[in-house]
Amino acid sequence: MSRPVKTTSYMSPVWLRADLPREAALGYWAGPHAEIAGRLPNMAEYVQRHFSPTDHGYWPASPTVGTVIPSSWRCDGVAEVRFGSTAAALGMPLHMREVYLDEQNVFERVLGQVTGPGGGRWWTDGHDDAVGHRTVLLLRRRRGVSGRTFRRFVHDRIGPALLEAGAQDLRTYTFLPWSRFVHPTPGVCHHNPAFRRYHASVVVGADSRAAMDDLIKSEQVDGIVADQRKVLAAIHAYSVERSVPVIRVRSAPATA
């Protein structure tokens, strides 16, 4: 892929119910809940990213940029959705009732985040089966930094640097301002305090976890780390324990 394809996408950090055994909750998310969500129209791709409960917070630190994930705000995974078009994304709420009602069976907190039209970038055409390891980065914008500057740092600095460093799969997303009305699930918490809020996400794949460590130690990533304090307040890295491709993309989507 010579240049990134713009997408309209959705990324939702989720917290599993604390009163359910973790493996049972993950099984329900990947099974019955995925079956319900997989029947929704308008989605070009839907992948669940289940996070490791122990392997996280390994992005290189720099002064004033938080990289250690607080135990009180450690999510269990993300739902990553790519829409076929912006119009398809706008039509989704009409079809979500069954999904919303089922979320109380597995989730304690759901924080749905949408990109603007074309607010995502698909840098590679790698598929889930071809990548050995993925890391999801959740980014918090520094107060006083404009949205435009932040988006440029994510898409024009982080994306190209990780691609040049050898990422096997790469997606960058910048979010619209947070609104609890994006994903108004009954019976599930949507509290998202401003000092904990995320404003972007990066999904990066490598051949293995060891290869991911090498990528993070690369000269290209050193350049990001040197400047991240100017734009970011936090960058939280999560190791993906399992990816569940509920709806697969077989080819690059059209620009949304």
Beta bridge partners of 77: 14, 50
Let me know: does 232 contact 63? Beta carbons within 8 Å.
Answer: no
Q: Residue 183 has which token pair?
A: 């994903």
What is the rounded CA–CA span in Å between residue 189 and residue 201?
21
- pLDDT, average across residues 184-207: 95
Let me know: does 121 contact 212? Beta carbons within 8 Å.
Answer: no
Residue 170: per-residue pLDDT: 96
**Given a cut of 70, is residue 117 above it in pLDDT?**
yes
Q: What is the pLDDT of residues 15-25, one digit of tens each?
A: 999 999 999 99
Place 195 in a pLDDT band, splitting at 50, 70 and 90.
very high
Calculate what percentage of the chain has a pLDDT beyond 90.
79
**Given a cut of 80, is residue 206 above it in pLDDT?**
yes
- pLDDT, average across residues 151-160: 97
Calculate what percentage of the chain has a pLDDT beyond 70.
93
Residue 252: per-residue pLDDT: 45
Residue 134: per-residue pLDDT: 96
HSE value, Cβ hemisphere, 13 Å, CA-based, for 108: 15
What is the rounded CA–CA span in Å between residue 169 and residue 223?
20
Residue 250: per-residue pLDDT: 42
What is the rounded CA–CA span in Å between residue 167 and residue 159?
10
**Given a cut of 90, is residue 130 above it in pLDDT?**
no
What is the rounded CA–CA span in Å between residue 120 and residue 164?
19
**Given a cut of 80, is residue 207 above it in pLDDT?**
yes
What is the rounded CA–CA span in Å between residue 184 and residue 100?
8
Burial class (CB in 10 A: 0-12, 13-18, 19+), 146: exposed
Instruction: Tell me the pTM.
Output: 0.93
Q: Calculate ∠ Cα 28-32-35, nearest 5°.
A: 135
- In this structure, how many other beta carbons lie within 10 angstroms of the beta carbon of residue 178? 16
What does pLDDT average to over the chain?
91
Residue 245: per-residue pLDDT: 93
Helix spans in the chain (H): 22-28, 34-37, 86-90, 97-103, 147-152, 159-165, 209-216, 219-227
Q: Which long-range contacts (CB under 8 A, 24 or more apart) does 220-224 make?
A: 220/161, 220/162, 220/164, 220/165, 221/60, 221/161, 221/162, 221/165, 222/60, 223/157, 223/161, 224/157, 224/158, 224/161
CATH of 5-247, one of 1.10.8.60, 3.90.1150.10, 3.30.70.100, 3.30.420.310: 3.30.70.100
- pLDDT, average across residues 127-145: 90
Residue 251: per-residue pLDDT: 47
Let me know: does 65 contact 234? Beta carbons within 8 Å.
Answer: yes
Residue 182: per-residue pLDDT: 81
- pLDDT, average across residues 26-48: 92
